[in-house]
């Protein structure tokens, strides 16, 4: 008897249909994939014309580099891509597509045609096929770019066609897909229609991306949008954020893009919402369009079939950069005009001090940039060529103050002006701080010191205090004996119901941190004790911040929550103490404490404790 074969190879057509199940969910996914291809082809204008909510017809036309006959045929084959040649490339993805999957998958579940030509060719190519089989390849007039027409989506997969939504739901999704792509690419013109009616229209606006945001969210948004920017080692956050005066009742004005890819990541959205929480009324959501750019090697985009989620190698660093970018804008309150009070809502730093910090940072960055490529002192060499997240690797390394000593070399390009910000939360060599020789005060706030080998060291006392406080509080938390003898505080404060409730329900957690609160009738809470270092802190803002850090009722009190609360306390302790310049004796004591501090746990603002400028660098510049 002849044995029946149980295993047979699937045909390519069937494989494409299965892949279509992942890549092509609905018309919106077709729009997204095809527009991404147009973007990858370097187009400057992209048109999307829909009929029947995109189910009946989707036409994407671009003016990109087009395809020759060979590529136009090959792109319909699975895993045919011009964008990825080797496994190594998978970790350096800088195009939107890389799998060579989208076109064949879409073609397998539709009536598909493409018309394309290479730049300068006398003849173009048209390829037509139904259900992904028997492509008809013909000559066609030459043209600039590519037009792809996708008709009767899922005509040959009735089960899927049935799942498409009625009414204008599919259209809404397709429109949103266009909006996301348009927000990500303001230097490309986007025009979309549905059965002749305009859906979206925005010419390229590289000069003022706010025009694009206004096209997406309504012209009323434009005057309320302010630029935000934070560039750090390995991550840049740029974009526009609306003042708290312009909000939505839902999160539809929140857009985040990672390396130009729209993502909807709970961590990123949560970080944005937290930055705004002191400014917005309950139930209102901020309007923020943020572009997060990281080295492609530091982000994995291949974790989701539709590339909607990403995984950062340094998620915390990214969140800190976002908070810093938004906090700076919100604190400066540019919507209040020139007369803005920097100590107004959310402000805690005199504006000129912040200015000064920026100036020092710029100076160091520029000096560093001038030395790009020059050999660096040996103490800093150890940090070069490592992984991009060196500063967070936990490996004890030298104090790194000069960005070029950090692994930008590995990325192969020097940092742009103002881009590099040293990430200094690293363990310094033992005794580093005690050996510093204080020389004076800069800008009434920064301490200048002479470090090993004549290195100029700029110390930020606020960041330093926060670091030492954080260490003390974390150690106390680990200590079985409980918090150190608390200071008596004794004050009563009235809070909004939610805050009062969170504080009273979180009493147990708070007492483990050395903060004793008691209900005092109504929504009044008595604060009895605080841990050392927090005497004299602003009790109201401290308790409000702690209330936010506490877990909701019933949720487990884990070490993550406690650590968050500890960070809040450290930040407030530093805020209070950092407002007046330190005396010599206080500075000495602080330096001693810094040598015992733990530089690994992140603090709230990810602040930099010291910046270093090696003597060698100064000498080189003096020459």
Ligand X SMILES: Nc1ncnc2c1ncn2[C@@H]1O[C@H](COP(=O)(O)OP(=O)(O)OP(=O)(O)O)[C@@H](O)[C@H]1O
In the list ligand X, Mg ion, none, the entry touching 38 (Cβ below 5 to 8 angstroms by class) is: ligand X
For residue 54, which of 146, 155, 143, 173 has the smallest C-alpha distance?
173
What distance in Å separates the CA atoms of residue 421 and residue 293, rounded to the nearest whole number? 15
Backbone angles phi, psi at 327, to 5 degrees: -60, -40
- Using the minimum distance from each CB to ligand X, give the nearer residue, 71 or 278: 71
- Using the minimum distance from each CB to Mg ion, give the nearer residue, 278 or 309: 309
What distance in Å separates the CA atoms of residue 190 and residue 179, rounded to the nearest whole number? 9
When CB distances to ligand X are compared, the closest residue is 97
Furthest C-alpha separation in the chain: 97
Task: Determine the angle formed by the axes of helices 169-184 and 210-217, rounding to 10 degrees.
Answer: 170
SS3 sequence, 185-249?
CCCCEEEEEECCEEEEEECCCCCCCHHHHHHHHCHHHHHHEEEEEEEECCEEEEEEEECCCCCEC
Shortest spacing between CB 49 and ligand X, in angstroms? 15
- Using the minimum distance from each CB to ligand X, give the nearer residue, 35 or 380: 35
Question: Does 97 engage in binding with Mg ion (CB under 5 A)?
Answer: yes
Torsion sign, CA atoms 380, 386, 390, 395: negative
- Using the minimum distance from each CB to Mg ion, give the nearer residue, 102 or 456: 102
The site map against Mg ion for 4-43 (x = CB under 5 A) is: ---------------------------------x------
In the list Mg ion, ligand X, none, the entry touching 99 (Cβ below 5 to 8 angstroms by class) is: ligand X
By CB under 6 A, name the binding residues for ligand X.
33, 37-38, 41, 62, 64-67, 71, 75, 80-83, 97-103, 146
562: left (phi over 0), alpha (psi -120 to 50) or beta: alpha
Shortest spacing between CB 197 and ligand X, in angstroms? 25
Which residue in this structure is represented by tokens 């494989």?
15
Question: Does 102 engage in binding with Mg ion (CB under 5 A)?
Answer: yes
Which residues, 393 to 452, sit near Mg ion by CB under 5 A? none
What distance in Å separates the CA atoms of residue 354 and residue 165, rounded to the nearest whole number? 52
- Using the minimum distance from each CB to ligand X, give the nearer residue, 302 or 487: 302
Shortest spacing between CB 99 and Mg ion, in angstroms? 7
Question: Does 566 engage in binding with Mg ion (CB under 5 A)?
Answer: no
- Helix residue ranges, H only, 58-197: 69-74, 102-108, 158-163, 169-184
Shortest spacing between CB 478 and ligand X, in angstroms? 47
Backbone angles phi, psi at 134, to 5 degrees: 50, 65
What distance in Å separates the CA atoms of residue 188 and residue 178, rounded to the nearest whole number? 12
- Using the minimum distance from each CB to ligand X, give the nearer residue, 103 or 275: 103
In the list Mg ion, ligand X, none, the entry touching 320 (Cβ below 5 to 8 angstroms by class) is: none
Shortest spacing between CB 346 and ligand X, in angstroms? 42
In the list ligand X, Mg ion, none, the entry touching 100 (Cβ below 5 to 8 angstroms by class) is: ligand X
Shortest spacing between CB 189 and Mg ion, in angstroms? 20
By CB neighbour count within 10 A (0-12 exposed, 13-18 middle, 19+ buried), where does 413 fall? exposed
Which residue in this structure is represented by tokens 């810093």?
324
In the list Mg ion, ligand X, none, the entry touching 402 (Cβ below 5 to 8 angstroms by class) is: none
Shortest spacing between CB 152 and Mg ion, in angstroms? 21
Find all residues with CB under 8 Å of 19, minimum gap 6, and list them. Answer: 78, 101, 104, 105, 108
Shortest spacing between CB 113 and Mg ion, in angstroms? 17
- Using the minimum distance from each CB to Mg ion, give the nearer residue, 18 or 123: 18
- Using the minimum distance from each CB to Mg ion, give the nearer residue, 113 or 421: 113
- Note the residues at the interface with Mg ion (CB under 5 A): 37, 97, 102
């Amino acid at each position: 008897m002849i044995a029946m074969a149980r295993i047979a190879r699937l045909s390519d057509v069937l494989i494409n249909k299965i892949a279509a199940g992942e890549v092509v969910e609905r018309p919106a996914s077709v729009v997204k994939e095809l527009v991404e291809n147009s973007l990858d082809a370097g187009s400057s204008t992209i048109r999307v014309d829909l009929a029947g909510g995109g189910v009946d017809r989707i036409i994407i036309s671009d003016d990109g580099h087009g395809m020759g006959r060979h590529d136009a045929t090959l792109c319909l084959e699975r895993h045919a891509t011009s964008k990825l040649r080797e496994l190594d490339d998978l970790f350096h993805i800088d195009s939107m597509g890389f799998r060579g999957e989208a076109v064949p998958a879409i073609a397998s579940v539709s009536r598909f045609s493409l018309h394309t030509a290479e730049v300068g060719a006398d003849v173009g190519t048209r390829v037509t096929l139904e259900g992904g089989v028997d492509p008809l390849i013909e000559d066609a007039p030459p043209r600039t770019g590519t037009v792809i027409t996708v008709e009767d989506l899922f005509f040959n997969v009735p089960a899927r066609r049935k799942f498409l939504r009625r009414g204008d739901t599919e259209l809404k999704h397709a429109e949103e897909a266009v909006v996301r792509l348009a927000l990500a690419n303001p230097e490309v013109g986007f025009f979309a229609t549905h059965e002749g009616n305009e859906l979206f229209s925005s010419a390229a606006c590289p000069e003022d991306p706010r025009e694009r945001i206004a096209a997406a969210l309504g012209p009323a948004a434009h005057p309320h949008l302010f630029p935000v920017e934070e560039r750090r080692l390995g991550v840049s956050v740029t974009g526009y954020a609306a003042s708290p005066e312009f909000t939505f009742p839902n999160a539809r004005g929140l857009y985040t893009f990672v390396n130009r890819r729209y993502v909807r990541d709970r961590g990123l959205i949560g970080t944005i919402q937290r930055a705004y929480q002191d400014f917005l009324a309950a139930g209102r959501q901020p309007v923020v369009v943020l572009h997060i750019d990281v080295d492609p090697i530091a982000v994995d985009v291949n974790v989701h079939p539709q590339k909607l989620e990403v995984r950062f190698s340094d998620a915390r660093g990214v969140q800190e950069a976002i908070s810093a970018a938004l906090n700076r804008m919100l604190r400066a309150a540019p919507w209040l005009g020139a007369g803005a009070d920097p100590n107004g809502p959310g402000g805690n730093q005199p504006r000129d001090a912040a200015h000064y910090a920026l100036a020092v940072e710029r100076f160091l960055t520029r000096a560093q940039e001038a030395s790009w490529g020059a050999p660096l002192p040996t103490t800093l060499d150890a940090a070069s060529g490592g992984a991009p997240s060196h500063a967070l690797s936990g490996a004890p390394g030298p104090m790194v103050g000069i960005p070029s000593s950090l692994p930008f070399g590995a990325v192969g390009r020097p940092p742009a002006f103002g881009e590099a910000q040293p990430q200094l939360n690293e363990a310094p060599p033992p005794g580093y701080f005690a050996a510093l020789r204080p020389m004076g005060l800069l800008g009434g706030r920064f301490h200048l010191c002479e470090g090993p080998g004549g290195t100029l060291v700029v110390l930020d006392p606020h960041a330093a205090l926060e670091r030492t406080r954080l260490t003390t509080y974390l150690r106390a938390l680990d200590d079985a004996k409980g918090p150190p003898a608390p200071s008596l505080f004794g004050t009563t404060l009235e809070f909004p119901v939610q805050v009062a409730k969170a504080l009273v329900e979180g009493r147990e957690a708070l007492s483990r941190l050395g903060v004793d609160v008691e209900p005092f009738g109504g929504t009044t809470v008595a604060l009895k004790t605080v841990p050392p270092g927090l005497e004299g802190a602003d009790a109201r803002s401290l308790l409000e911040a702690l209330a936010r850090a506490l877990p909701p009722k019933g949720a487990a009190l884990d070490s993550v929550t406690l650590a968050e609360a500890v960070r809040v306390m450290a930040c407030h302790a530093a805020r209070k103490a950092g407002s007046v310049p330190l005396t010599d004796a206080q500075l000495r004591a602080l330096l001693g404490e810094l040598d015992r501090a733990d530089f690994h746990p992140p603090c709230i603002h990810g602040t930099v404790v010291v910046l270093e400028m090696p003597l060698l660098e100064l000498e080189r510049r003096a020459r």
